[in-house]
Structure 1
Amino acid sequence: MKLNNIKPQIVVVGSSSIDLILRTNKIPTANETVLAQNLRSYLGGKGANQAIATSRLGAQTSLISRVGMDPYGQQVLRNLDDEEVNVAYVFEDEDEDTGTAYVTASEEGNSITVIPAANYNLSPSNIDEAEKYLVNADLILTQLEIPSKTVEYLFRKAKNLGKKIGIYAAPASRLSDEIINYATFIVAKSTDLEVIFGEGNHDDIIKHLPNKLFVRDGANSTSYFDGSEMKYFRKDPKSHAHNS
């Protein structure tokens, strides 16, 4: 039997940044000073994470994003290239630095402060410049760490091109009816459903979007409604993939 070796074409439109992670014994409260054991930097941003994940799964992945013309931006580009992500349309911004996230991590949880910087300059015109990639895409992915007007424009573009598009609705904000209706799938955190979809019972929200809304919870499990019953999947606890 001959196997199909054609790689799916996936285009990710979204954020890329550097995560600076401080490891501490506790999360400091207001006016409190704590000592950190170390500081580490990692490639971050929900867009870059999606791009790397799909590339590792065997897709031919392109990222449309924006970084600064600074050392962090060069680090982002090198890391993406190492992961075999096409960076032809990761634009370099002359006016803003590369996005950064400052993470204080301890056993009691994480505290995260994000500076979007160049990510918030990703514009509809950048989408148009990369249209040739969108035309050939089997799937488009995006998130909410770029301007909402750019996300809305991307969905209109995907609809005009007849493309499948999935969105990770984080950081949580209200999704328009246009996005909800056209999205091939929506991934959301269980604690964010009311913010994303408006007021309503969680079960009612999930059941209103069968086979479209996939809900993550704090235990790394995912649930969705298949039209007749709820389905549940739990992430392998031995997996240590970086989440953001």
Structure 2
Amino acid sequence: MPKVVVVGSINMDLVALASRFPEPGETLSGERFATFAGGKGANQAVAARRLGAEVTMVGCVGDDLFGRDLKAGLEREGVETRHVHTAEGTASGVACITVSGAENHIIVIPGANHRLTVADVEAAEAEIAAADVVLTQLEVPLAVVEATASVARRHGVPLILNPAPATALPAELLAKVSYLTPNEHELSIVLDAGDTPFPDMMARLPGQVVMTKGAHGAYHVDAQGAFVHQPGFAVDAVDTTGAGDTFNAAFATYLGEGAAAAMRYACAAAALSVTRLGAQGGMPHADELAAFIKDKA
């Protein structure tokens, strides 16, 4: 069972379903509303746990009803939460999500996620040192991500950075990242690459970039410069929320089998995740993923 430490965000997703997205200034009647546990960090932690990893979460929730529910939900999934802190006087992070068809529009309010500190990462150093892989994102302060990368590097633990929401990243941080897992748009922002074709962007960080491209699957340039494409798996999509998080969790969970194998598992897990509503609601368990891949063989 691989040991995965996830350092990242924990949100409550507030999801509205509608026949279409409203125009600016328009009030539109929706079809359904639901709340789901979310946040990229928590999503990735839950997905990795369902796929069989032993998972420790490092994060922060508010001292509100959402915070209590979110932490309890992680514990029900079997995620270790001793490094999930409660920030007094602060609301939990939320994501306001509108879903129409299989697409979504998302606004994230960070809340307590921005109260996660470098000291919180340092307090989890023993867990990071004992991990097989560390997984982080950009919904927590950049200083926290940089500290996570430094601790992982110090102990020789591979670090996966999912650079979302995207921002240009310092070269010092990128040098400590084992795998960067953006989509094409995020990769351009991270590298400040403008309209550069994605193969050329990926070649700037040989061996490090695993780029997702929706239904087209994922792409990787290995350390020898070979270009690898893992095609996506065809499914009937219901809700794409959390597909990228599922991809990252599966990639981390199966990384011990090599990057190419991990990409195949990750693309399959992401495909399965979009067939059900909700970020965590659609995340598959290991037996589901195994059956799906066997069926597609």
| TM-score between both structures, scaled by the size of structure 2 | 0.76
Look up the SS of the partner of 1:36 in the other structure.
coil
Equivalent AA in structure 2 for residue 211 of structure 1: G
Contact 1:27 1:108 in 2 (8 A): no
Q: Which digits, 9 at most, give the CA deviation of each residue in 1:82-141, with x for residues without a partner? A: 111001111001021110001111127322111100001111011112222112111111
1:27 and 2:25 matched: no
1:222 and 2:218 matched: yes
State the shift of 1:163 in Å.
Answer: 1.6
Structure 1 moving runs of 4+ over 3 Å:
240-244
State the shift of 1:50 in Å.
Answer: 1.0
Q: Which digits, 9 at most, give the CA deviation of each residue in 1:10-41, with x for residues without a partner? A: 10000011101001111112210101111101
Contact 2:221 2:227 in 1 (8 A): yes
State the shift of 1:207 in Å.
Answer: 2.1
| Distance in 2 of aligned mates of 1:116 and 1:101 | 8
Q: Which structure has more helix as a fraction of its residues?
A: 2
Q: Which digits, 9 at most, give the CA deviation of each residue in 1:39-75, with x for residues without a partner? A: 1011111101111111111111000000011110111
Q: CA, structure 1 residues 235+63, in 2 after alignment: closer, same or farther (shift >3 Å)?
A: farther
Q: Which residue, out of 26, 50, 56, partners 1:56?
A: 50
State the shift of 1:236 in Å.
Answer: 4.8
Q: Which residue, out of 83, 88, 94, partners 2:82?
A: 88
| Distance in 2 of aligned mates of 1:124 and 1:46 | 19
- What percent of counterpart residues are identical? 30
Q: Which residue, out of 190, 204, 207, partners 2:184?
A: 190
| Distance in 1 of aligned mates of 2:183 and 2:279 | 13
| Distance in 1 of aligned mates of 2:58 and 2:41 | 9
C-alpha RMSD of matched pairs (Å) = 1.7
Deviates further, 195-204 or 61-70: 195-204
| Distance in 1 of aligned mates of 2:55 and 2:192 | 33
Q: Mind listing any 5+ residue stretches in structure 1 that lack a counterpart?
A: 1-6
Contact 1:26 1:108 in 2 (8 A): no
Contact 1:27 1:109 in 2 (8 A): no
1:148 and 2:163 matched: no
Which residues of 2 match residues 1-244 of structure 1 at below 5 A?
7-107=1-101, 109-199=103-193, 200-219=196-215, 221-226=217-222, 227-237=225-235, 239-241=272-274, 242-243=278-279
Look up the SS of the partner of 2:81 in the other structure.
strand
| Distance in 1 of aligned mates of 2:197 and 2:227 | 17
> How many aligned residue pairs are there?
238
Contact 2:217 2:229 in 1 (8 A): no
Q: CA, structure 1 residues 92+236, in 2 after alignment: closer, same or farther (shift >3 Å)?
A: farther
| Distance in 2 of aligned mates of 1:236 and 1:55 | 25
| Distance in 1 of aligned mates of 2:69 and 2:166 | 28
